[in-house]
Structure 1
Amino acid sequence: MRAEERRQAILEHLRQSSRPVSAGVLAERFSVSRQAVVGDVALLRASGADISATPRGYVILKADQGLIRRIACRHDGLGMEAELCAVVDQGCSVLDVIVEHPIYGQLTGPLQLSSRYDVGQFLSRCTEAGARPLSDLTGGIHLHTLSCPGEDAFRRVQDALRNLGVLLEG
């Protein structure tokens, strides 16, 4: 398979996938190195493909994601698991985390967490990598973009985060 054909096949595979796909999985599927896949995705993105890199792999976000809302939270690193679980337990997905950096402005990290399993995998990767959350840069203050099935689910998320004492409200 030629490189251009492989890139189109990768793009189609990502379009059809309902979950993020890692570079390693794509490399195995197309019998190339992980680095070749990273390069292919970079070229696809440069040509306009809307591919996001998440902690679990590459994804093309679908246009219909339900009700999209943002919440502001504040907690230390120890509150991260409770916060994320409170969201997914209400049937919503955590699409990203956003912080305001004094030098770089808005920094966004795609997350795509929809279940306790996803949250557990994310936290395990953080621990294994010795990575600190982006919110450490801002004294714990951060935003999350959420995808919820409806207003009721979003209100339940707000209530759950308020009960945890992490919802930042005016």
Structure 2
Amino acid sequence: MKEPTKILGDERRAYILKSLQESSEPITGGELSAITNVSRQVIVGDITLLKAKNEPIIATSQGYLYMHASRPSAAERIIAVSHGPERTEEELLLLVDHGVTVKDVKIEHPVYGDLTASIMVSNRNEVKQFMEKIRATNASYLSELTDGIHLHTISAPSEKALDEAEETLRKEKLLIDLE
């Protein structure tokens, strides 16, 4: 039986880039690894090289995603929230239930400065996948480094949806009022 052929170097990176550009869904490193017959670590290196060439690839909890230049959401803002890890799922569900996409989480670290991680969740299923990944990997939340204080970039089709989401977070005592 013939061993599957590895796709090498530039050809592999071109294949990865094309796959990401053509996909509307995130593709995991494991999937790319299996298709190209290289380790997941090689894929991580390839993604790093592609990013260094200014390819707009982001790593989300669901996999790698190519950020196509498109019409921005009608509304976007940054919100400040504070809560313990036990309320993360509740917070994300409250936001997506208002039609909001949670793009990222940001904290201010005393040594490294601003740290940002992509989240990119827009619906309950994506929140569920994000939470399952956190639990499966036993990963810590960035907000644990700042006693629960963190920022999110959120977007929605309208300012009204963002306003309603913020009001819900305020009622649930998750939102930090900056006024």
TM-score, length-scaled by structure 1: 0.93
Matched, 1:25 2:8: no
Separation (CA, whole Å) in 2 of partners of 1:10 and 1:50: 13
The amino acid across from 1:160 in the alignment is: T
Matched, 1:158 2:166: yes
8 Å CA contact 2:56, 2:68 repeated in 1: no
Partner of 2:111: 103
Q: 1:86-165 alignment to 2 at 5 Å?
A: 86-165=94-173
Question: How far 1:2 sits from its partner (Å)?
Answer: 4.2
The amino acid across from 1:55 in the alignment is: S
Q: Which moved more, 1:60-69 or 1:85-94?
A: 60-69
The amino acid across from 2:116 in the alignment is: T
Matched, 1:74 2:82: yes
The amino acid across from 1:130 in the alignment is: N
Residue correspondences, number: 170
Q: 2:51 aligns with which of 45, 56, 80?
A: 45
- Deviating beyond 3 angstroms after TM superposition, the runs of 4 or more aligned structure 1 residues are none
TM-score, length-scaled by structure 2: 0.88
**% same residue:** 41
Distance 1:90 1:168, change over 3 A: same
Separation (CA, whole Å) in 1 of partners of 2:127 and 2:109: 24
- Tell me, which stretches of 5 or more residues in structure 2 are unaligned? 1-6
The amino acid across from 2:12 in the alignment is: R
Question: How far 1:97 sits from its partner (Å)?
Answer: 0.2
The amino acid across from 2:101 in the alignment is: S
Separation (CA, whole Å) in 2 of partners of 1:90 and 1:104: 33
RMSD: 1.5
Matched, 1:3 2:17: no
Q: Which moved more, 1:9-18 or 1:88-97?
A: 9-18
